[in-house]
Structure 1
Amino acid sequence: MIKKIHLIAACGTGMGTLACILKEMGYRVTGSDQNIYPPMSDLLKEKGISLFTGYDSSNLDHKPDLVIIGNAVTKMNVEARAVLQKGIPYLSMPQAVNKFIAKNKKIILVTGTHGKTTTSSIMAYILFVAGMDPSFMIGGILKDFNSSFRIGSGEYMVIEGDEYDTAFFDKGPKFMHYDPEITIMTGIEFDHADIFTDIDHIKTIFANFVKKIEKVSHIIAYDDNDNLKEILDTPVSSIESYGKQGQWSFSNHVQENSKTLFDVKGPNKKVLIKTNMVGEHNLLNCVACIAVANKIGISDKKICDALKSFSGIKRRQEIRGIRNGVTVMDDFAHHPTAVRETIKAVRPFYKSGRIIAVFEPRTNTSMRKFFQEIYPDSFLDADMVCVCEPAIKKNIPQKDKFSIKQLVLDIEKKGIEAYSFENSDKLINALISKLRPDDLVLIMSNGGFDNIHVKLLEKIQ
């Protein structure tokens, strides 16, 4: 009988969420990670999960009945080696999700390069407002639940489906482990350069996924992405499209104070939506979820009520504080498309001040030169750009490394004030003297960024 479960690499978004779920289900849960940083580490500690900082075979001395190994862990990891040597049963994260949580649930799976967390969160909240008592497991913390997960008694479970590999003992994508009833596909772009060689490699992964689900899952697919269109070129038994030319689309987009009003049109349907979310990318996320909600019979009123009251997700255009008229906002954006759309989305709401984009390229892809020539155009809607060397270091050959100094030079050529910094402390010290009332400091990184948000707000104060 399984009573004690240990997670290796517990502070990743997926693994941390799984740890919290298992704790709530009554298991004794421990975890270890090389990097213990908020907000996930705070959530784990709040749930009473013991965390070990760093990896060590002694972290297994309490003799767990099962170990769940995250995909950030290599087979040379000291704890992973100890698990194998001691013969402790182990699973990957998606295997554990299927074993403990998703069995007997109708899965709504959200996949794609961008928008997975936001779209999954919107979908889960619509189901909740509709009284369907959903479960969900999402790679972000929903403000309405102050959680990245929920275990409900309803028939539906929303899962954010990641294309990243599963574990050192399973190099296939995580989403291949799930058997969804409905799948949202938000589009395909190149990312995860550490495991994918090029865009064709990624398209192959998604094409294999579509082959697996095409006869059993209803697909809601973004219509304006050529890569996704290509892999959906062959007939699929049940599919609807969304986008500017899709079967589901939006129009009459109006921003009113901090609200957005827009019409959504679908097959034999038109509904007026009001939401706190901004930016066309977020409205498309809403449209995808409305198409799913319509498919499973949720009323227009419930859909409208949910989107009107949805509070959003932490680290997605999240205002961390306002000091002396300066707003500090946190966002997870790191891919060039996400950076561009995030800046574009907040631009209309800060017309009286400047948008100062602060960017840390810390993903495996953004640390490499793949997007060196593309990133400059992502910052065109910013008034000032500050780029910081990532706090974490990777063993990347010099010829393949992304250059923040070159990025700054290229941004300056486009007439935008830009600066590079060796670390976050130097960035903060330089930025403080430049800030004015009504400025927005938009901080973009997929990591903790040395707690720069709190440090900056304290300096302004």
Structure 2
Amino acid sequence: MRVHFIAIGGAAMHNLAIALHLKGFEITGSDDVVYEPSKTRLKNQGILPKQEGWHPENITQEIDAIILGMHAKIDNPELLRAQELGLKVYSYPEYIYEQSKDKIRIVIGGSHGKTTITSMILHVLNYYKKDFDYLVGAQIAGFDTMVKLSDAPIIVIEGDEYLASPIDRRPKFHLYKANIGVISGVAWDHINVFPTFENYKEQFSLFIDTIEPNGTLIYCEEDESLKNLVEDHDIKNQLEIIPYQTPDYRIEDGKTYLKNVPKEYKINVFGKHNLMNLNAARLVCNKIDVSSEDFYQAIASFKGAAKRLELLVETNNSAVFKDFAHSPSKLQATINAVKEQYPNRNLIACIELHTFSSLNEDFLSEYKNTMNGADIAIVFIDEKTLLQKSLKSFSKEKIIEGFCTDKLMFFNQSEKIKTYLESLSMKNTNLLMMSSGTFGGIDLISLAKSILKI
């Protein structure tokens, strides 16, 4: 089977390419630029394109399938050539479905928590050496790739609500046709694609309709918007509906313990949102014959997915964390989690506005009061990001108005925010760095060591 990837360098795309290569497929690909770590990982597998750019002459009738990445545009010369030849063009979620039609498909959807819930399930299944495939949006300890495709009977999929490809405007998670579907919460995001909250919520209603008949929907009933959506939804496909909540827990000396399950378990992750994620993962595992007791035994050793409340450096009275949080709900949940875990420490919280939604002036008001839990609140916007995305600059006044706090600091150059952070006293203080970007290329581990004087 010969498969060609247009825009092979993407995070999901290069992982899928490697997974198919390891399965014995003949893989070719192209991209106008391939960044690390994709570049080295493709090179190590011998499937890195020999030269960058688009080469329509390489698209021939001998190719069995084309997989089109979101980075490509609709006028991509290789795509146009494939269409001219009548070749089958898939988005990567479509192709994942093609490879998993005969499996039990577990799809984790929601505005937040998808990666963590998926990672928790993978950790537990791996702990018990179960046979399963997966697609997850972050690197997880114990897993070499973010995609695995084999003859396993189960696949666990992180179901993103963003668009499938430049020529397929359906949300990715609609294409997987879950047997077991999870919705962790609904909070408006991707406003460049879904211009109203109602339009955004509709995608989750449609997701429910894609769950296979006699399948299962597991959802967080503590999210009022989601609870109303599920209760008001005319469910036509005979689903088992399972709501979940935050489990009982306590915090002692910066450690979290699950209570009454049936005994107490110390866990490595923390924060109410992560405990809700844990309950969702437990219910999924129950559906595939992992008991709650076995789940708790395994989850105690789970240390989290990369960039999800990831501890970078710590001392006896200070710590630096990084997190992928960028939407308002994620930002507030992450700040509250760190503050609750360490109530006697000050908290410096820094958010980089990086996505199209967060850099939209009309969306800024959605961040109102989200940083009120921090002792020092910092917003960073990289000037280079605005240039790359052809977006206009923000004034400090507009940021303060949106976040609705006058104690907020604002920076738009990475060196200035780095200098400011290094000037602060970190005694009995935690620092939380949140972004889906890179803070203008700052090496966060080096910064953390510098700040904590390690």
Please state whether the residue corresponding to 1:224 is helix, strand or coil.
coil
Q: Distance in 1 between matches of 2:51 and 2:312?
A: 27
Cα deviation per residue 1:393-434 (whole Å; 9 max; x = unaligned)? Answer: 365675xx76555324666x7463x32222212211232122
Shift of 1:73: 2.5
- Normalized per residue, the structure richer in strand is 1
Q: Distance in 1 between matches of 2:430 and 2:51?
A: 35
Q: Distance in 2 between matches of 1:402 and 1:147?
A: 38
Q: Distance in 2 between matches of 1:440 and 1:186?
A: 27
Q: Partner of 2:256 in structure 1? A: 260
Q: Distance in 1 between matches of 2:267 and 2:141?
A: 15
Shift of 1:303: 0.6
1:292 partner letter: V
Q: 1:59 to 1:332 in 2, by over 3 A?
A: farther
* Root mean square deviation of aligned Cα: 3.2
Q: 1:50 to 1:448 in 2, by over 3 A?
A: farther
Q: Partner of 2:128 in structure 1? A: 130
Q: Distance in 2 between matches of 1:354 and 1:432?
A: 16
Q: Distance in 1 between matches of 2:313 and 2:40?
A: 19
Shift of 1:78: 4.8
Match of 1:168 among 166, 170, 175: 166
Q: Distance in 2 between matches of 1:274 and 1:445?
A: 28
Tell me if structure 1 keeps the 8 A contact 2:92–2:164. Answer: yes
Match of 1:362 among 334, 354, 372: 354
Q: Partner of 1:109 in structure 2? A: 107
Q: Distance in 2 between matches of 1:94 and 1:274?
A: 36
Q: Partner of 2:241 in structure 1? A: 240
Please state whether the residue corresponding to 1:278 is helix, strand or coil.
coil
Mean Cα displacement is larger for which, 112-121 or 201-210? 201-210
Q: Distance in 2 between matches of 1:37 and 1:455?
A: 21
2:414 partner letter: S
Match of 1:310 among 298, 302, 326: 302
The aligned runs of 1:38-117 (5 Å cut-off) are 38=36, 43-44=41-42, 47-50=45-48, 55-57=53-55, 60=58, 65=63, 66-81=65-80, 83-84=82-83, 89-99=88-98, 101-117=99-115
Shift of 1:197: 1.4
Q: 1:458 to 1:305 in 2, by over 3 A?
A: closer
Q: Partner of 1:387 in structure 2? A: 379
Q: Distance in 2 between matches of 1:120 and 1:379?
A: 27
The aligned runs of 1:185-264 (5 Å cut-off) are 185-213=183-211, 215-232=213-230, 233=232, 234-235=234-235, 237-244=238-245, 250-251=247-248, 253-263=249-259
Q: 1:63 to 1:380 in 2, by over 3 A?
A: farther
Cα deviation per residue 1:10-35 (whole Å; 9 max; x = unaligned)? Answer: 223x2233123123223454555566
Please state whether the residue corresponding to 2:349 is helix, strand or coil.
strand
Q: 1:260 to 1:458 in 2, by over 3 A?
A: closer
Provide TM-score, normalisation by structure 1: 0.85
Q: 1:410 to 1:228 in 2, by over 3 A?
A: closer
Tell me if structure 2 keeps the 8 A contact 1:142–1:314. Answer: yes
The alignment status of 1:144 with 2:142, answered yes or no, reads: yes
Shift of 1:458: 6.8
Match of 1:178 among 172, 176, 179: 176
Q: Distance in 1 between matches of 2:57 and 2:299?
A: 44
Provide TM-score, normalisation by structure 2: 0.86
Cα deviation per residue 1:171-193 (whole Å; 9 max; x = unaligned)? Answer: 11111211221111112121111
Please state whether the residue corresponding to 1:373 is helix, strand or coil.
helix
Tell me if structure 1 keeps the 8 A contact 2:178–2:212. Answer: no
Structure 1, gaps ≥5 residues long:
none
The alignment status of 1:456 with 2:447, answered yes or no, reads: yes
Q: 1:365 to 1:206 in 2, by over 3 A?
A: same
Q: Distance in 2 between matches of 1:230 and 1:360?
A: 32
Q: Distance in 2 between matches of 1:114 and 1:210?
A: 17
Q: Partner of 2:424 in structure 1? A: 434
Please state whether the residue corresponding to 2:155 is helix, strand or coil.
strand
Q: Distance in 2 between matches of 1:321 and 1:68?
A: 40
Q: 1:131 to 1:345 in 2, by over 3 A?
A: same
Please state whether the residue corresponding to 2:4 is helix, strand or coil.
strand
Structure 2, gaps ≥5 residues long:
none
Q: 1:326 to 1:51 in 2, by over 3 A?
A: farther
The aligned runs of 1:378-417 (5 Å cut-off) are 378-390=370-382, 391-393=384-386, 398=392, 405-408=397-400, 414=405, 416=407
Q: Distance in 1 between matches of 2:422 and 2:356?
A: 30
Identical aligned residues as a percent: 27
Tell me if structure 2 keeps the 8 A contact 1:8–1:69. Answer: yes
1:71 partner letter: M
Shift of 1:159: 0.3
Q: Distance in 1 between matches of 2:170 and 2:298?
A: 35
The alignment status of 1:328 with 2:320, answered yes or no, reads: yes
